[in-house]
Structure 1
């Protein structure tokens, strides 16, 4: 009997050891418990055009409607499509002037915008400007240039305004983007009038610069009315007519990023 009891007791002890040992191995993890899960967002390039912005506050969240000074009722042409786009460039109006036999300097009117009522807001002019948007992935860089396509000519008789020259002053870049500013920005330049196709490189962002919407504006609230000038020699024969020329603004990818 003792042997049986001893044997039974030993079995009970062994059983208890197995049960309690298993419970010890199955003890819960410490609280608080952690579990990692993923979150994802994927970006693709946006080909839609970007609206013009106010050059004094170039925020893409606050688009504006610029006014053509030569025809305030005419809608302004939209900018180019694509993730790298040329959104706007001001139309220059040097006003109505008296015929003179003396050297004269005329200044382009500042840029006007339409107000909330859809009418020209003449009380709040802004600087003339060109606008570029880079919505490509990363900061790949770009370059902006401008050229004058020949001399001013009269509309009726196509007479040239010989010796007349346009000069841009007080040029500067502005944005609300956190990207590094374009490293090349011309403060002042004068356009050639021979129509040879030679363009002035006026603003350029290298790799690592220029993401987002950028404006290249001429002057501030104090200087914008005298930041683009037209010099006309007094010796030049003038007709009682309107003289016109065109400017071509060109936006390109920087050479090392151009796809062949």
Structure 2
């Protein structure tokens, strides 16, 4: 019985000590606050010093993004300077092919741009669809319009001319400012894209400005690439058939493939009617000018 009473007494002492400690805690001091400010003032971008940034790849099937290319930026071109500008506009090459004495469609070569892999390895000649890139750093989202003009007249070094028509498919658009799938990116994406249903072509060789894409007010802020074609294997030309873009019928044994027409970008084609064409030396190369225009005209609401 004595052993039990001792245990109870010890418990009482411990509990009593805890109660005394709690009553001895100091009061919490009053909290007092002071407020200051941080500020920054923005002005339109596109000034004298421009640091090249990556142009987004418009191909929805390809995550590779080309490296900035300082050689394509030309501040002497009015469309490539200022807060609303092109950061990239493409040359379009259809390569070398055998002459055919009837109307023929020729498809564009893919563009070559260097890119860097995730492990840091640099690839000098990545292939990309034909695209242009717009950057809008005026502030806000005021909208803009891109047009292109082509006469359809191609000229060689001897000033000999041929007529041809450039056709573009409906483009893909990707943001370099907003991550894919973000709500902000979807809201900012230019909503007016020239082109009929997917897979159809529209004519740009009208000798007048053809509207390619428009961002309405509330759209188009930041950097956007607009591209024609895709690097998916099923979107490349087959090299089969007169134009080299006919699907090979299932079960065809040893189909005749024109390798000069295989693996081209089906997003852009050049239609050349039957006419006299020179194939002698440097006279065999015919060139035409494309005039790309960017303006602050917003697209339709």
Name 1:238's counterpart in structure 2. 277
- Cα distance change of structure 1 residues 121 and 87 upon mapping to structure 2, 3 Å threshold: same
Structure 1 length-normalised TM: 0.71
Aligned residues of 2:59 and 2:172 also touching (Cα < 8 A):
no
What is the SS of the residue equivalent to 1:167? strand
Which consecutive residues of structure 2, in runs of 5 or more, have no partner in the other structure? 1-27, 179-183, 196-200, 237-264
Matches within 5 A, 1:205-216: 205-216=215-226
- Cα distance change of structure 1 residues 141 and 91 upon mapping to structure 2, 3 Å threshold: same
| Higher radius of gyration, 1 or 2 | 1
Q: Which has the higher strand share?
A: 2
Aligned residues of 1:165 and 1:190 also touching (Cα < 8 A):
yes
Q: Distance in 2 between matches of 1:210 and 1:94?
A: 31
Which consecutive residues of structure 1, in runs of 5 or more, have no partner in the other structure? 1-28, 67-74
Q: Distance in 2 between matches of 1:185 and 1:143?
A: 10
Q: Does 1:182 align with 2:222?
A: no
Matched pairs, number: 213
Aligned residues of 2:56 and 2:175 also touching (Cα < 8 A):
no
Name 2:292's counterpart in structure 1. 249
Name 1:113's counterpart in structure 2. 113
Q: Distance in 2 between matches of 1:78 and 1:155?
A: 25
What do the CA deviations read for 1:126-174 (whole angstroms, capped 9, x no partner)? 1110111000111111100001145112222x22223x21101141221
Matches within 5 A, 1:48-197: 48=47, 49=50, 51=52, 53-56=55-58, 63-65=67-69, 75-78=71-74, 80-115=80-115, 121-122=124-125, 124-156=126-158, 158-162=159-163, 164-176=164-176, 177=178, 178-179=184-185, 180-187=188-195, 188-193=201-206, 195=207
Q: How far 1:30 sits from its partner (Å)?
A: 6.7
Q: How far 1:54 sits from its partner (Å)?
A: 4.2
What do the CA deviations read for 1:5-33 (whole angstroms, capped 9, x no partner)? xxxxxxxxxxxxxxxxxxxxxxxx97333
Name 2:211's counterpart in structure 1. 201
